[in-house]
Structure 1
């Protein structure tokens, strides 16, 4: 595909080895003499270390520069040094900051890992990546469509600018008919356009991978403490009264704010009240988590616990230490790249910590944590595909044991409360 001048999207299911496939592609490109310079790989900060590790393991002959941190080279120094390397690794966060000199390089290839990071067409990093000149472009993502079809068009504007038409035309021909009307003709027409450009394989296809063990998913239903129930009803009642007087975007804002507050409340009342009382028995969800961990630790198994709230992660970590005298590592958005790498290495070691608490947006992608056989989603993300990505930190190539996935849920959902 790249030899014809077309960009492409590798959309294999999470955990099927997109990183290794790209490394193999780059090695083959060099061996066949198709070298036009240095290739740039863009990825979230949290997975730079994983890319660096995989290059050292599978392609030690390639010279890799990690363009990251305060000591990174800039401007003319970068431009004069870059041709010494085969690969430059950097993050989306740095791309638009350093675009002035990164855009002066004629790259052989630009590869966007976790390409959903450029799903919003008008963001600074999306504009920056489209401004880079290169011989080929490849997007890597297990979720080419996270929320809406516009996500797909934005990725295609990076790999093949103009291929899916203007934003207005795309919305008229595809987005509106498919999303609003379920138009099958429009769906088929879009598939005909994108299928030659996208390669997608899934773990459930035994022709692709035959030795991956099973994965089971269980919903864990928990009641509320008396305190939680009282605060929950008060929040819902206040929200219902407020929305009666509002309309449009303001009404939606009130509902969204209330749902977010309820989600935090179900994790622990202190996340809403702001008090310092972090006793675990104030939250039935936390009580149930401790019960599950007691059994899991007794079986000498390792566990990933995902949460979207940093404060919830801190409470979980503190409670585990108090209850079991067991270390629980906690990875979140403020964790440095070096510390992330150390945490992953320790967890993967048989002698390392058995519990890893992770902020779903900071560590829910791009890292391998196959030492875990249990994955617990302590609270639920808005988009199921994000949860799936997080689960696939453990359920991926290299996993030799059955993976148990647990998703916490309330006994009585909000929607039932609203229909009374």
Structure 2
């Protein structure tokens, strides 16, 4: 079984709990070794697969399981090639987000499970990806579902025939107004970045400038302090956040707070401690496996710990945090599949309360308009998501100005 490093302990515990008759071993760390008398289950990581591909490929395996299989979405990546080089009689890929950015992600995962089933990547792009993502062809969507159905065992939590005792998940968008200071800063940065784009010539340079502008405006929408690295300006989002936390804490309930930025998480953690006198648990990319396990245990069992701050990439998958009945997305990822995966850290088996999910959106800014675009995908949403920041680089300057310009009073 191949898993992200952060899930090694999780899977060991799951085997102990649900399959105590199986023996298992963890192939990880500087002193890792594979003995001739192997256990029933060997758990390793994508990083180890990449570094020890030759050793593992020299052995025959009965079943090769890739958990969080979006880690092999890029067929050209070294770890994807390494995993596919390991011989096994059977293959299973498990993922809650098989499509993260584009439909080609799906091809790479299916190619691991059943090589050649969807043809070459070039053929797949022509027959499925372009008609679905570019043209929104629903007939091709239906064809794609029929072709992939024999390979998929899909569990929807909304299907009561599969899980009949899971509480409801209730989502709501929270629209936050920019303060006057935020609006002035937003407009100033937007004008400056658009001017730089007007003078950009190479497409590579242009894409980089669009990405820089997007990141800057995201940070300003979160809080000017994140962009400026200092200052005492206010933020409509942060004010709305702490009003919401006040009401959650009054009911003695717990909450997960997601952001895509570690820096914003650190700022929020400081403010949380100042306001409530308690430092929140904060899980981010620098958290070790030992620290992560301790945080999860503490959040689940300690009534004093009401909040866990999590960066989306570090904790969007693989966590069981059912002590929380509230989930807040402080900034949106523009990928509903990844966002739903994060929300499902609380909304999963073992949850006994309805889960309230709050999506914070800054009103009148590009956040609101991109959210409308994502929500408008309708029937295609289960298969495709926008390419996010990458796709913005293909827009014209006029289109970018229209997308990012402020619309106060809307």
TM class by smaller structure: 0.7 to 0.9
In the aligned structure 1, how far is the partner of 2:257 from the partner of 2:36? 40
- 2:2 matches 1:42: yes
In the aligned structure 2, how far is the partner of 1:117 from the partner of 1:416? 31
In the aligned structure 1, how far is the partner of 2:61 from the partner of 2:83? 12
In the aligned structure 2, how far is the partner of 1:238 from the partner of 1:139? 45
Query: CA-atom RMSD, angstroms?
Result: 1.9
- 2:158 matches 1:204: yes
Change (3 A) 1:189 1:224: closer
* TM-superposition CA deviations, 1:288-334 (whole Å, max 9, x none): 21221122111110110001111111111111111111231000111
- Listed as ranges, the gaps of 5+ residues in structure 1 are 1-40
- 2:268 matches 1:268: no
Any idea what SS the aligned residue of 1:382 has? coil
In the aligned structure 2, how far is the partner of 1:135 from the partner of 1:274? 54
Q: 1:112 is matched with which residue?
A: 66
Change (3 A) 1:82 1:268: farther
Q: Larger deviation: 96-105 or 248-257?
A: 248-257
Change (3 A) 1:387 1:127: same
* TM-superposition CA deviations, 1:90-125 (whole Å, max 9, x none): 221222022232222211111001111111110011
Q: 1:315 is matched with which residue?
A: 267
Q: 1:93 is matched with which residue?
A: 47
**Among 223, 229, 236, which residue is 1:284 paired with?**
236
CA contact (8 A) 2:364 2:406 kept: no
CA contact (8 A) 2:63 2:89 kept: yes
Offset at residue 177 of structure 1 (A) = 2.4
**Among 255, 272, 275, which residue is 1:303 paired with?**
255
Q: 2:391 is matched with which residue?
A: none
In the aligned structure 1, how far is the partner of 2:14 from the partner of 2:248? 31
Offset at residue 350 of structure 1 (A) = 4.5
* Number of corresponding residues: 371
Q: 1:183 is matched with which residue?
A: 137
Any idea what SS the aligned residue of 1:196 has? helix
Q: 1:244 is matched with which residue?
A: 198
In the aligned structure 1, how far is the partner of 2:22 from the partner of 2:352? 30
Any idea what SS the aligned residue of 2:51 has? coil
In the aligned structure 1, how far is the partner of 2:193 from the partner of 2:13? 49
Q: 1:406 is matched with which residue?
A: 358
Q: Larger deviation: 118-127 or 101-110?
A: 101-110
In the aligned structure 2, how far is the partner of 1:190 from the partner of 1:224? 42
**Among 16, 31, 52, which residue is 1:56 paired with?**
16
Offset at residue 158 of structure 1 (A) = 0.7
**Among 116, 120, 124, which residue is 2:78 paired with?**
124
- Listed as ranges, the gaps of 5+ residues in structure 2 are 367-401
In the aligned structure 2, how far is the partner of 1:160 from the partner of 1:404? 38
CA contact (8 A) 1:222 1:409 kept: yes
Change (3 A) 1:241 1:348: same
In the aligned structure 2, how far is the partner of 1:388 from the partner of 1:192? 24
Q: 1:226 is matched with which residue?
A: 180
Any idea what SS the aligned residue of 1:306 has? strand
1:7-26 equivalences in 2 (<5 Å): none
Offset at residue 182 of structure 1 (A) = 3.1
Offset at residue 412 of structure 1 (A) = 0.9
In the aligned structure 2, how far is the partner of 1:228 from the partner of 1:185? 45
In the aligned structure 2, how far is the partner of 1:143 from the partner of 1:82? 35
Offset at residue 186 of structure 1 (A) = 3.3
Q: Larger deviation: 140-149 or 129-138?
A: 140-149
Offset at residue 365 of structure 1 (A) = 0.5
